[in-house]
Structures are given as C-alpha cells and as structure tokens.
Structure 1
Amino acid sequence: MRLVSLCFLFFTIFQVSAQEATELSTLNKKCQKKYSKALKHIKSKNYEKATKDIQAVLKPYPHFHEGRKKLVSIYLKLNKDSLALPHLKIIADQEPTPDPKVFMTLVDILENEGDYSSAISYTEKLLSTKFSKSKGALKVKQRLKVLQFRHHAYSNPVPFNPTPLSANVNTIYSESLPALNADGSIMVYTSLQPISENSQRKQEDLYMTQIKNDGTFTKGKSIVELNTFENEGAHTFSQDGKIIIFTACNRRDSYGGCDLYISFNKNGRWSEPQNMGPNINSRYSEKQPSLSADKKTLFFTSTRKGGKGKEDIWKVLLIGNKWSEPVNLGPTINTAENEGSPFIHPDNKTLYFRSDGHIGLGGYDLFITRKENADWSTPNNLGYPINSTGNDGAIFVDLQGQYAYYTSDKFNNGAHLDILKFKIPESIKPLPVSYLKINVADIESHFPLQANIEIFDLNDNKSSSNIQSDQNGSALLILQPGNFAVNVVKDGYFFYSENINIDKQSNIIEPFVFEALLQPIRKEVEKYKPIVLNNIFFETGSSELLDISNNAIQNLVSLLNEQPEISIQIIGHTDNVGDEEDNLILSTKRAEAVYNKLIENGISKSRLSFIGKGESEPIASNDTPEGKKANRRTAFIVTQ
C-alpha cells in the first residue's frame, strides 16, 4: 500500500500529457520494480499477483500503455474479455500511434458483446489513420463490411417461426435434407439410424413419406431399392417424382471419393442406381445435387480442379441424352472458401446455396441469387434469424414459394437433427410458378395412353418443352407465367389441346389438372365427337383471327395432311352476351375465318365446311366468366 502511494505521489509531481504514452523508463524506480515483478509473475503464470502489480502501476501512470497491454493479455488468456474491454478502449482512445492488434481485439470483443455500433466506430477510426494505406488495411476493410452487414441483419430480423415436422418424420435420430415433388404429395429425406438395435454404428439412408391433403405426413419408410449397408443421401428429387439423384461415397464403381448416382421410378419401383459417369463424377468429390424442374440442368458441389475455392458449385446440361462437361458457376457465386448445397427452385431462376466465403453471420450461411439473362446476381444473405452464428444447413423451397424446409437441432438442445418448416419471407421468395398435371387416356375405353405432350409458348411462338406421358398416361410439367398451348399427340388419335394463360403478376398460381381423352381415328364417322380447338383466338367481338392462333391452325393442317381421307366441318360457338342473331352471325364468321385459313395452308375446299351455332349449344353455364369463356369456342368434327 505504501509503495502505491509513493508511486502516486511521484506521478502527481511529474504528470504527462493525456495524449502522450508513458514509457517504462519514465516510471519512478518503485513502479519500475513493481512492473518487473509483474513480468516475473506472468512468466510463472501467477496471473493474480501480476494483475495486482500492474494495476498498482497503472493507477499513478494511466498512460503506461505497455503495462495496460500486458494486463489485457492476462485477461484474454483467462477468458475475461469483459475485464479487458475497458483497458482496450483506453489504449485505442489514447495511444498516439494506433496499434491494429489492439483495435481489432477490441472490435472482436465488442462484437461478442453485441455492441456493433462501437465495433464499427473503432474500425472506422483505425481506417481513418495512416494504417489505411498499409497492406493490412484490406482485411480490416473487409472486417468493416462484415460488421456493417451483421449490425444491419441483427437490427432488421426477417420473419421466422420454424416448426418441426411430425413424429412420423422426425425421430429420436437425425433426419435431414427434405425434398418434395411439385404437388407436395411426396417428400424424400435422409435418416441417420443405428444399423441394428444395439449397434453404435449408424448409417444414413433415404426415406420417403406421403403428404396427405390435410398436410399430415405418413410414417416415413426406407427406400429399400436404393439403400445399402453404406450411406446414401445428399439427394435431389425431380418435380414429377420420377427421378432421384443421390450421393454415395467409395463404392466399387466410384470414380473417386463421393459420386452421384441416378435412379428412375418405373411402375412404382426405383431402378437400380447407376453411377452418372465421368462427365459428372471425377477422382475428387461430387455431392449435393439439385436437378432443375425441366430435368435439363444439374447443379452439384465438387472439390475438383478448376474451381474458385475449396468447394464450389458446378452445373452440367443435358444435351440430347448426354450430360455436358461441368461448368463452374463462376466468381459471383463461388469464393475462395466453400460453397455447397445448391437448390435450384422450379422457377429455374432462383438458386439457394450455403457458403462460408460470402459475408455472413458466422460459419455457413444460406444465400439466394437470381439468374438475370445469362448471369447470376450478387448473392444475398437470407438474413437473421434464418442464418445464425453457427453452420446453417441446406434449404428446400416448395413450388409455390410459400414454405421452406431445412434441418436444425434447435428444438432438442442439440441432441439430433430434425426437419423444420417455416413460411418464407417475401424478400427471399422465388418467382411464382405452377404445374400442369395431365392424364392421357382413350376416350372410349379410358385405357391410359403414352403420348407426346408439347407446351407451346404462344407469346414467343416457340415450343418450350416436350415430354411423354408415362405408362399410366400421366405427366407433370412446371409452368411459369405466360400464355401456353398444350398439345397432346398420339399416332392413330386426334390431337387434344388446352390453353393455359398465367398472369405474370400472380403471386400464387393454382395448379392445372387436365384429363386428355383422345378420340381414335376410325372409319365410322357417326362415332366422332366435336373436338374443341382451345387455342383459336379472335379479336373481341370480331372474326379476325389473332396471330397466337397459328399454332392451333398448323396442328389442324398437319392432321389433315397426315389423314388425307378425312373431311371436317368447322363449328363456331359464342356465349349468351348480346343479341342471339348477332351471335349466330359472329360464330359463323369465326368458323369461316378458320376455314379460310386452312385453305390458305393448302387444304382442299372439298374437304372442308363450316357452320355457326351462336349461343345455342353451351357446354357450361353462362352465369360465370369461366363458363362464358368455355362457351366461346371453335371446334371441328369429322364428316367423312
């Protein structure tokens, strides 16, 4: 106590400026001795005595920053950051030449305390000095960006209220990586369970659950055709529910490390998985696939050479029946660190992924990027609290863009992983899309038919996709906003057409479900029924054909050229709006317009006739807009 008072007495006589640091040589002998003892205590790890001695010196010499730094180092070593904090502030505020280590240690502690305003302020203060021209300034500038992002993220949390799925899916073990088909009726996921009842060894397998109309889940079942005694997982499930691509490691047919395998659902069973080959798999690691809704692009994660960092996202394109060479998504997406778990939404423009290289809240964060023309936009963090200071896992967003699914252990105190569901915030929603589900069958026997289904974009005047219905006559396609003709064609049958017009301003688009009943081509004319041409369009109140009718005209021309022995009659119909006689005249003129268009395209007059029926033969109620639209139609019937 006496020594402290002597030090203090000496200090009051030889006071220094508050802006000047006190050097060791300027301490009085008693204080120099006290500090020397403190250094010996530090060397012998007697931190309690060292702390007391340094504090005794700092009381009369508060600008003795060398001693204060020693005190800070003791507190940090003892994990007493809160005690180090005020001393770091004093040094940063008073030391004439800023010490970057002091500043950045102070910033780290302030961030851990949640004081982002002060952390940003001290970082900006350091960068306002000559230090800003040094090599180390680049890292500090990046650190400032991170702090600013985190401050904004924590100050502006996004809506987030996740709930775990039911016990039919989540068990006492770990479930993860949910993936749903387009209509949300099936979910494929992984479960990590013991290989036997008393075994400590666990293996990851693929499971499937049915989702009922009320949103409840059936009990998950192992996909036995795909699972082995090793691990299967990190998968993608096609929107039509016909394909699973998954990751398996170190198999006999592997090209090295982890490879991607593909299986097809045929007659309700999954085919034997096949390695996807050397265009995709390499001697490095390929995993975490995501298949686009049109099945023409496959995204995946790889550590192969030629990347931008440690683990990158790549893609391959399906050209004909072969996959292209892999293409790296480039520096906008991939950093010098790790990017993975890509999920391409069915809109084919919104990509979600995880990264520890982009600015985030810590560890792996989830990001969103959108395709703009041929390029990907700068990724945006999904925000807090979707992202956290830990490692946040893969995300799956449903077709409608309303709900997201991901994996977390937050509901069971870290005991195991569960699958959670949450309503996705508006700012990170994908573009609105829907799906067409069509069943093709014979109109008489109702026997399912395998037929070609073309989706023709009437606005762009080009075919957007072609698929085949399966052995059950079923097909599913993803639809984005636009005006489309759906044409179903099969040899020996008349074609079937539908029109789908999706408003680009729609936020939620209801699915389209059709039953395409095809009429067989036969000699018995009396058995034919009228076939509606759903993609013939006229100016309102006029018989002038719109250009978007060309696809329907060409389909009819092709049919007549392929079947030269038949003749047809074009029939025009209207709704009940307006005068009955006027409607009869309008329907006749519209039928005649189609008749003339067929003649222009080389069809003989002798095979054609036309008639107008006006409003006399409605096929729906005229009390609703939908009914009136159905009644305003052009059809044809075979007459010979």
Structure 2
Amino acid sequence: MYQDAYVEEFKITALPNKVNSKYSEFGAFWKDNNTLIYSSYNSDKLIEVPAEEQFVPPVNLYETKKSGDDWKKPELVKDFSHDYLHSANGSYSLNKKRFVFSRCGQNTTNQIKCDLYVSDYKNGSWSEPEKLGNKINLGSYTSTQPAFGVMSRRGHKTEVLYFSSNRPGGKGQLDIWYTTFKAGDWTEPINCGSAINTIGNEITPYYHGKTKELYFSSDYHNGLGGYDIFKAYGGLKSWKRPENMGITINSGYDDTYFSWREYLKDGTLVSNRTGSRSVFMENCCDDIYAFNYESLSIIEGLIVKNDTTMERLPGVEIGLADLTHLEYPDSVNWISESDDKGSFKLKYKPGHDAYVVVAKEGYETHYIKISDLSKASASDSLPHIAMINDLKWLEKLDKIKNQDVQVLSEQSLSKRVKKGAVFVMEHIYFDFNDATIKPEAYQDLTLLQSYLERNKNTVIEIGGHTDNLGSSEHNHALSQSRADAIKEYLVGKGISASRLIAVGYGEEKPIAQNQFESGADNPEGRRLNRRTEVKILK
C-alpha cells in the first residue's frame, strides 16, 4: 500500500506460468542475454511414485529464451540430462566452452548427496559429463551450486570455480569454497573464509567478474528471515564485509540464486516468498523472479543528542515514510540504524522526496525531509539530525501535581470520559514561530479523530499554549493559529466544525516555570508550556 515510502532499488515480478510450474524452479542463471537455464520437474501435477518404484523422477535442466517481455516455452537441455540422477545448478565458463553442474541422488542413508560434473564443448558438441576429481567431490560430502569466476593478475587470467559444500574444514554447515584451474586440473579447494562463511549455511554463489562481487545466500548473516541474498567485494578468500541486498530482493522466506542478466539493469533470483506457485501448500516451492534495477542516490549523516553538544547517538532506528501516508501507523519502513559513531547512510530515489524517521527509546521520534537533508549536505559535509529527550508527560504531570490534565492516549480515551476532562497532546510539535502541523503529530490527531467519530455528540475545545518568549500579543495570535490548524485538520477528516472550538491562550496558563527562581532559563519548563490541550465541553 505504501510503496512510495520504500526505497526500492529492485522491482520484482514472477516469471510466467509457462516457466514457473507448481513444483520448484531453482538454479536459474543466464547463459547469455536471451537464454535462461534453470532446474525443474516442469510439472503442474502432483508426482506420485508407486511403492514398487526404486527412485523419484529426476529434476532436469531446462532452457527458456527471453524475447522482449515474452518468455518462450522451456525446453529440456538434453546434453546434461540424466534418467535417474537430478541435474541442476549449472554454470558456464567465460568462453562458454565448459559447463559444470550438480548431479544429485540419494546415498545409502537416504540423504541427498550432490557431486559436480563437467562437460566440454568440442568439435561442435558437448562431451559426456564426467565427475570432477576427488579434490572437488569428497566422499560422502556434498559439492554443489558451482559458479565460474576469474582471477586476473598481471594481465593473466585464471579460471576460478566457486561452489557450496559441507566438506570438512569449513566454518559451519554448507560453506562456499573455491578452486582454480591450473596446469589442466583443478586445485585443492580452499574455504572462502569467515567474512563469507558462518556457522550456518552459505549457498548459491554467483560471481560477477567485472565488479569482483560475489552474490550468495545465507541463513545466518543478519537478514529478514530464511535465506537472504548478500553481496561482498573481493575474490578467493579475501572479502569485504557482506552487504544485505535489501528489502525488495529479500523477503521473509528463502531468497537464493541471484544472477544479473545485464549488470545494473536486470536479472533473476529464486524465492518461495508469498505468491509463489505451489503443488502442496503456500511457500513450499520456489519460483523464478525477474528483477529490474533502478539506480538510487545516497545521503549520509549523523544523529546527535542535541545541537548544543553534538554528542553522537548510536543505535537509533532509521526509517522512511512517504509524504502522503503519514497518518497511518505502519507507513514507516524501518530499514537501518545509526552505527556506533552515530553515522547513517540512506539510499533514496532521485526526485522522490520522503521523510527520514529516527526513533530511539527515551527520545522523541523525529521526522526530516530527504530534500532538507540534501540541502544541508550542500553546506555541511555530513548533515546531522538532532534528537530531543522524551518529555515523559505522565511523569512530569505527576511531578508538578497537575491533577486536572491527563495525557491523550488510547488508554485514557478508552475509559468513560467526563465533561470537563483535559488531555494534553504530547506529540503535537510546532517549529519556532510556525503553525504548520508536523508529521510527529499524526499519531495524536488520528487518535483524537477516532474518538470523535465514535462519540458523535462530543464537543471539544482545542487549546493552544505558548511559553512567555515574545510579546503577549504575538503569543496569543500564534497559539490561536496553531489551535486553528488542528481544527482545520479535523474538519478536513469529516468532523463537524460545530463540534470544535479553537482557542489560543498564549502564555496565560503555564503549567511549569519558564525560568528558575534564580532567573536562569528553564528549557524543559518552556517545552511543557508549549502544549496543545483538548478539553471535553459536552
């Protein structure tokens, strides 16, 4: 519903039903710009295996071609198919003359074990697939999901094969390993290291040689649920810290087999996210999804406790909210948090404005437009967002022993409300000398609107209050403008104007000291006095 509030680098669509059957489609990768290879049963009907049969029908490799927005009917890749073993997870060498893929079957303990096979293109045809040597395929351990890469050094290119395996010497369960092709043979596999591999599973590697980026899926690196897709810069066993590919590429389910068709333009991934086709139950089976990439801009900044000390604030939740849906409580898409130095980095669509929302327990939630941050970055190399301590109205009202004023909340409005009751709207803030309603106010305004809609005969007074900075006349006019702004908002939501009385009290009714007895300024007292109240008149 709130798509514009999300920073979407990728637009995701499922491939048509002629490609995605009700069984799983997986292992998708691009042979060229028009040809997609993948693995499937290629069946929409439930496959039943009679008890007397000794094996399950195998998964095989299929090929489909993209023509504009259309996809051709898939065809079996006969050169690499097998009558009894599952054939899947292929990868072509850079010159397209070598093909490595997985063949899998049940071992003696009825577990699926995979080995890597290779076929070479010679004299106009593909050779009979052969199992790679014992360096790669090791005993009862699985070796699967190969992905060709390249290592360039001093103008010399060496072919690299990344793959996933649970072989001994790993960091966890399935790890990503690599081997290089030297002197006509593959070298002893080496683990890609702890930057990539964890105590969980790392699978489905895909290496983009031009940018030196490894794309892979993990169920342990910090993600959204299930397997998430990550990318890391580097090669062999030297990698930068992996980066989660984000909320549109990744779902709460298993997201795997990321592959570019054209870099920074489009490609495919595999997922069992909600909406995937299934022969059994929801989310049981994988489908292939196409994605289109949209370039984004990046803005960096700092979050500090206040403008005076500029003390940096770590662990602040950071989200984005669409300008047009601020009244809905779920319109904030929380996507990040400030690091241990209070720094943050956000991606956003050029030309699309949104609110950056920052929240942390003990501080008031703050909204600031991306356009305002961008303007600040033009003069300040690292723009900052200053947060303010939460006033904790309940505690403050109790401390100043003001028994006549309550805090507007779901709890306070759920009880029987008596005539004369007064509620302070704790999230109503206005900029200095301004009567424009800020986004932080919508949670209180929505709550008040809902109460008035349930209680059709209730009449309220909206009271605006200020501190004593400025002249009495100015403060009275300012508080009246602010009360009028709230009344106009509620009228715009369908509440009759006859039920809303807007009154600006200015500085006449403080509930806290504006100055201490010593004459020093009392900033917290002034904030308490700059309040908006609702009084039940009828």
TM-score normalised over the length of structure 2: 0.46
Relative to total residues, which structure has the larger strand share, 1 or 2?
Answer: 2
Relative to total residues, which structure has the larger helix share, 1 or 2?
Answer: 1
